[in-house]
Structure 1
Amino acid sequence: MNHSVLRLSVREADGPRLVAALAGAMDWHTARQLREEATSLVEVNPRLVLDVSAVTFCDSSGLSALVQLRRRALDAGGSVVLTGVPGHLRRLLEISGLGPVLLGDGGAEAERPGGPHGPP
């Protein structure tokens, strides 16, 4: 049976934010893993930057996990910022109406090359 694979790795602390990278598929098979691992990061630091440039696929379960993660971060006084959003994921966020919710935290910073910690 071919199951999806998702890797979450902490890259660095960027000032008051924790920077982590997601790689692989965010789908029904990996949504629980995403919620559990990313929630543990939010408990350490509620200001989380997620580099999603290596996300190869996302379905509604993946989107739901991101929304739940954002809600946990907001409840803790933080935020979730997506950076490196590939075209397929950006289109999905726009089509679903979640673009303003999941991309709005980053504002112009998320659009810069290298994300919020990249060059101006």
Structure 2
Amino acid sequence: MFGSIEILDASTQRLQIVLSGELDCMITSRARELIGPVREAATVAYLDASAVTFVDASGLSAVTALATSSGRKPVLIQPPANMRFLLQITGLNEVYTVDPEPQAHDAAGCAEGHGAAGHGC
């Protein structure tokens, strides 16, 4: 399965990005394509990583460059264990707010438009 990065919502209040599949060197060009729209949104990026099946250093680097291009601390929702491990050993866990539980965003955030991607909001 190839990796995918898609912006679902780039409103001024919420930047919702869905990550899926294998995040490796093959997604680097897609991440670069999306930096402009993310930078223009200038709001917090919420990245749903629940469908990520694999991530390596090149994929994590590309996603981090994209997520931080808005100038705000991004929120990473439901990253898989291997992604959390890479975040920890690279020190990038300090770059993100990591939320392993999407329910917190769903329950409180849906009414305000802050629910996790693909989780009923």
Q: Percent identity?
A: 33
State the partner residue of 1:100.
94
Q: TM-score, normalised by structure 1?
A: 0.71
CA distance in 2, matches of 1:70, 1:15: 15
CA deviation after TM superposition for structure 1 residue 111, in Å: 3.9
Task: Quote the residue 1:119 is aligned against.
Answer: 107
Cα distance 1:63–1:112, how it changes in 2: closer, same or farther (>3 A)?
A: same
- CA deviation vs aligned residue, 1:12-64 (integer Å, no higher than 9, x gap): 57881121211111111222212323x14414423221101111111111121
Residue type of the partner of 1:118? D
Q: Tell me the CA shift for residue 70 of structure 1.
A: 3.6
Answering whether residue 76 of structure 2 is matched by residue 82 of structure 1, we say yes
Q: Are the counterparts in 2 of residues 52 and 82 from structure 1 also a CA contact under 8 Å?
A: yes
How many residue pairs get matched? 107
Root-mean-square deviation (Å): 2.5
Alignment of 1:59-70 (within 5 A): 59-70=56-67
